[in-house]
Amino acid sequence: MQPMRPPTAGGERCYEYITRFEEAFKQHLGVKHAIATSSCTGALHMGLAALGIGPGDEVILADINWIASAAPITYLGAKPVFVDILPDSWCIDPEKAEAAITSRTKAIIAVHLYGNLCEMDHLLAIGQKHGIPVIEDAAEAIGSIYHGKRAGSIGAFGTFSFHGTKTITTGEGGLFVTNDDDLYEKVLTLSNHGRSMWQTRQFWPDVVGFKYKMSNIQAAIGCAQMERIEELVDGKRRIFAYYKENFRGLPLNMNPEPQGTKNGYWMPSIVVDQEVHFDRDALLADFKADNIDGRVFFWPLSILPMFEKKPENEVSYDLYQRAVNLPTYHDLTEQEMDRAIKIVRRHLHHD
């Protein structure tokens, strides 16, 4: 018997679109369980809490990430342990992750940065060897596929973001997904102020939980977005292909797509070769002067003031300075991209 969400005084209509959105995403991903949330951060917070992570524990993740991947670890009193990235995918280096495991390590978070895929087989093997769950932060990886499995459907649990910048958006919002029945039950309880799905008494919390619900209105937008998910992902892939073709021969690398994988290319990014002089700030200033929105690459989290510096993460500490996120929107025109391409080529002396 499948548990239901606890009933509310107003009946189930306030959950109608939430349930529909969860069902649509479950089918898209090929997973058993999904819980719509107010943010990906909230989904990650609840998932980590359901794993029992707390004070004194450690969670390993890549140094280059948005802080939303690390913040929920600190909410629980645990410590984020930042390890270096791979120079090609910009995602967590599995060997560095394994070297960082201690008796306190309770999870590894694999963040699929900018749509690029982590080496999940290697990470899962490490997790199995050490008895540590591998979690997928797939906030940026809608549309990415790893050897036949969609990003977010592979680890102990996955989380997604539907922030306004993402390929699929509900304005703000997130999703927790898992194939683990017990973990789903724990997170569903936590997501509803600690009221168990089996609890028959109204307004009776069994534990202190959280309030990270997605609203029905946001979920209705999500349902409409899911109807055109392939179109939106195809738009991102078209944009990336155009940039890549027009940067052919330049001293830079872009988001990789290893054999057997598909990259959703949430954020097309360039990393300029080490030996080339490149002034990132000057490039972004020229973008801004032409009303083009470019972005810096994520900073290594360990250089932020609230964390300890880790200069031994050499790839992370070098790469971010040579990298830029390019404009992307599913129906961006070639003429619009040409403006950005022209400025990049000029800065790399390939007018």
**Tokens (6 digits) for 31:** 């997973």
Q: Cα 257 from chain centroid? A: 17
Give dist(CA 257, CA 114) in Å, integer: 12
Cross-strand partners of 35: 176
Identify whether 166 is a catalytic site residue: yes
Give dist(CA 258, CA 137) in Å, integer: 19
CB 164 within 8 A of CB 24: no
Reference 124, options 157, 154, 160; nearest CA is: 154
Angle between helices 216-226 and 229-246 (to 10 degrees): 60
CB 170 within 8 A of CB 40: no
Catalytic pick from 96, 166, 186, 213? 166
- What string of H, E and C letters represents the secondary structure of 215-274? CHHHHHHHHHHHCCHHHHHHHHHHHHHHHHHHCCCCCEEECCCCCCEECCCCCCEEEECC
Reference 147, options 102, 172, 117; nearest CA is: 117
Give dist(CA 33, CA 95) in Å, integer: 31
Q: Which amino acid is at 19?
A: T
CA dihedral 335, 169, 89, 70 (to 10 degrees): 140
C-beta atoms surrounding 288 within 10 Å:
11
Catalytic residues: 166
